[in-house]
Structures are given as C-alpha cells and as structure tokens.
Amino acid sequence: MTSTTQQKANSKLLVRIIVALVIGAALGMLLPQNFMIGDTSLVSVITPFGDLFVRLLKMIMVPIIICSLIVGSSSISPAHLGRVGGKAILFYAVTTLIAICIGLACAAVFAPGLGLDLSDASKAVEKAANAPSMGQILLNIIPTNPFDSIAKGEILPIIAFCLFFGVGLAFCRDSKDERIKNSADTVFNLFDGMSEIMFNVVRWVMQYAPIGVFALMFVVFNKSGAAAFGSLFNVTATLYVGLAIQVLVVYTAVCALVGLNPFVFLKKVRPPMLTAFVTRSSNGTLPITMQSAENMGIPKSVYGFVLPVGATVNMNGTTIYLGVCTMFIANACGIPLTGNDYFTIIITSMLAAIGTAGVPGAGALMLLLILESVGIKVSGSVAIAYGMILGIDAILDMGRTSMNVTGDAAAAVYVAKTEKELDLEQWNS
Ligand code: ASP
C-alpha cells in the first residue's frame, strides 16, 4: 500500500473509531442500567466484544516490545557514539526524565479519572500488599532467565534484556570482521522484518477497534453516565497542560541555557510541530524536522544523526502521556499507587519511550506495558478505563507526537550549539 493510500485508510479508521465512541457513549447513557434482553442484560452481551479487543492488543504487546526495542537500540551505531552521540543520548535521557515527572505531577494536581469510580477495591488491596521494595525493583530489572520473563510477560526484565541484546547487536553490525557483520545484519533484518509484520498485525487488530471501542464505551457510559465525559475531558486537558509545560518551560530553558533565543526556536520548530500534530507520526515528520533543523543553522553532521535516532528513541510527549494516563486509569479504578509504583512508572516509561515506534497510536500499546509493570492487570474495570483512553487516542496522539518532534529538534539545537557548530546567523534573522 502506498503511503497516501495508507494515510487515507488511517483517517477513515479514525473516523470510524470516533463514531463508534460517540454511538457507544450515547447508547450507554440513553439506555437504563441493567437493560435486559430476555433473560440476559445487554451489558453482559456487549462486554465480551470489548474484552476481545483488549485481548488482541495484549497478544501483540510483548512481540512488539521485543522487536521494536531491539531495532530501536541497535539503530544507534557505536561509530556515531562519539561526543555528538553521547551528548544527544544524555539530552534524551534527561529531558525524558523531566517529561515523565511533569506528566506525573500534572496528573497529581488535576487528578484525571478521580470520581469516575470503576473501582474494584479487592484488587487494589491485593496489589498494595505485594509491592516490592525499591532496591528489589531495581534488581528485578535484570532477568535471571530472559525467556522465563518473556513467557511470564514481565515487562521491565524484557526491556532490559532487549536493550542489552540491541546494543550488542549494534556493536556486531559495526564489526570489521565481515562474518560477524553479515550475521549481525541478518539478525537485525530478522527483527526489523518481524517488527514490520507485527505492525501489520496491529493494523488488522485496529480494524476491529471501532467494535471494541463501541463495546467498551457502552459499558462505561452505561455504568458511569456523564461522569465519564468529564473524566475524558480532564485527562485530555491534563496531558495538554503537561505538554505545554514541557515546551514552554523545559525547551525554553534549554535554549536560554545555551544562550539562544527561545522565541526563535519556537518559531522555527512550528512546521514540524504542526506536521506531527496532523500526521501523528514522528517518522513521517522527519523530513520536515530536518528541513527546520537546516533553517535553524544546524549542520547535517549533527541533525543527520540526532533527528533520526530521536524519532526512534526520544519521545518526550509520549512519556508525559504515559504518566498522565496511568494515573487516570489508577484513579478511575480506585487503585492506590505507592512510591515504588511511581518509581517503576518513571523507569518503565523512560525505557518504553525507546521502544515506541514513531507511528500513529504506538504509545497506546506502551500504556499497556506500563500498567502491567506496576502490577495493574488489564482486565475488568482497568480494560474499560483503557478503552476510554483508546477512544480518544487520536486527540492525545496529536499533542504527544507534536512534542516528540519538538524534543528531537531541541536535542539537535543543544548538541549543535554546545559543539559550536550552530550557524548563529539563522538565529538573528
Ligand atoms: N505517534 C507517536 C509518534 O509518532 C508515538 C505515540 O503513539 O506515542 O511519535
């Protein structure tokens, strides 16, 4: 399929999902609770259609993380890991850490999902009692048997193993020994191919999304009525406040720190921001981000590495989204989060960003991963809350993708300026 045909198909699907969300919500509100058809309640007939959608998503979660993390981490060539690469990666890590903290702080202030009451108190208690200590969380990141972790769906150990594997693969692909290089390239192509296959499967699963979203929306609106609208509005507003802080405070501070005018940055970064907003794809926006880097006077030797790698591993907007939405789901389902949970969310979100592909909707799959990593099982009320988020994912994805590309551009500016390679004339015009 050509990319234009693909884009048309995507936007048709988006319309179908939004229509399904509206119809599901409207019907859920209009029909009385416990509406019966013969002996069975309508909710119990519709619920499995939503559950099927969540199961399909969970089915593809682990294979997708494995493939995209290995491809993502091995795409950073060690040959490029000189000063420029090192600086860029440090910049990604610090801004991503700040982004997730901003996401969690905004969610703490605005408390999205609170009052929705999809709760299942018994689960929450069980979860709190099983909480490991912080030291144990860190130790548990390293799997004793990666295959066991894969089989059990233990997210952090899987991520850790894939990162080791990916970086090892990157070194082998750079080897001077032809035999090692060729076999490493074969392994890379295998995972790259598998990742493409998985994204095809995602596309098929998404064809079912309108039915799944309809079912999930019907159930939640039938149960919670108008309160659900307020919650969806609240989670969207919380995310956008977080994104605004990231761009207006963090990136502005970065510019000021290296002695550049933040307003010029904000003006020059507008084209990729807008393109990302409408395409919802960092990868698709890459040519425009590169063009804007040229306009900022960043040399190709810097942006040629920083931007493509950034589009793969640096996802500041997605991390804010992960923090906000995890808290939305926890609030909506009455699941208390402990200090250790927040710590796990921070680590997992930072790592998940690396595995988030720069394509529409990829972050929503990563949200499943964050939930699982803090022991929140995606079923029952959690699946319903997740379905609500998925129903408005397009709106959330626009903002987070826009921020993802802005973060990449900020990284390129930072590296170029501190390496004294920035053409400052472009900043005076
Ligand atoms: N759509 C985002 C991007 O392309 C990824 C995500 O879904 O969070 O950057």
Per-residue pLDDT in tens (0 to 9) along the chain, 429 residues: 555 666 666 668 878 888 888 898 899 889 888 788 888 888 889 989 988 988 888 888 788 878 877 887 787 777 766 778 889 889 999 999 999 999 999 999 999 988 877 765 445 434 544 555 667 767 888 999 999 999 987 777 888 898 899 889 999 998 999 999 999 999 999 998 998 898 888 888 888 989 988 998 888 788 777 778 888 899 999 999 999 999 999 999 999 999 999 999 999 999 999 988 978 889 888 888 998 998 999 988 888 888 888 888 899 999 999 999 999 999 998 898 989 899 999 999 998 888 788 888 889 988 988 998 888 888 888 888 898 888 888 889 999 999 999 999 999 999 999 989 899 988 886
Mention the CATH class of domain 3-427: mainly alpha
Nearest CA to ligand 1 atom 1: 360
Give residues with Cβ within 8 angstroms of 79, minimum separation 6: 174
Point out which residues pair with 37 in neighbouring strands.
40
Quick one: which atom of ligand 1 is closest to the CA of 280? Answer: 1
Q: Decide: 394 and 280 in contact? Cβ < 8 Å.
A: yes
Q: Are 99 and 246 in contact (CB under 8 A)?
A: yes
State in Å: Cα 317 to ligand 1 middle: 8
Tell how far the Cα of 217 is from the centroid of ligand 1, in angstroms.
23
Does pTM surpass 0.75?
yes
C-beta neighbour count of 147 within 10 angstroms: 9
Q: Taking CB atoms and a 6 Å cutoff, what residues make up the pocket around ligand 1?
A: 280-282, 315, 318, 356, 358-363, 397, 400-401, 404
- For 175, half-sphere exposure in the C-beta direction (CA atoms, 13 angstrom radius) is 15
Q: From the CA of 392, how far away is ligand 1's center (Å)?
A: 14
Q: Which of 57, 277, 282, 366 to mutate to test the pocket of ligand 1 (most atoms within 8 A of CB)?
A: 282
Whole-angstrom distance, CA of residue 400 vs CA of residue 239: 8
Q: Which ligand 1 atom minimizes the distance to the CA of 404? A: 9
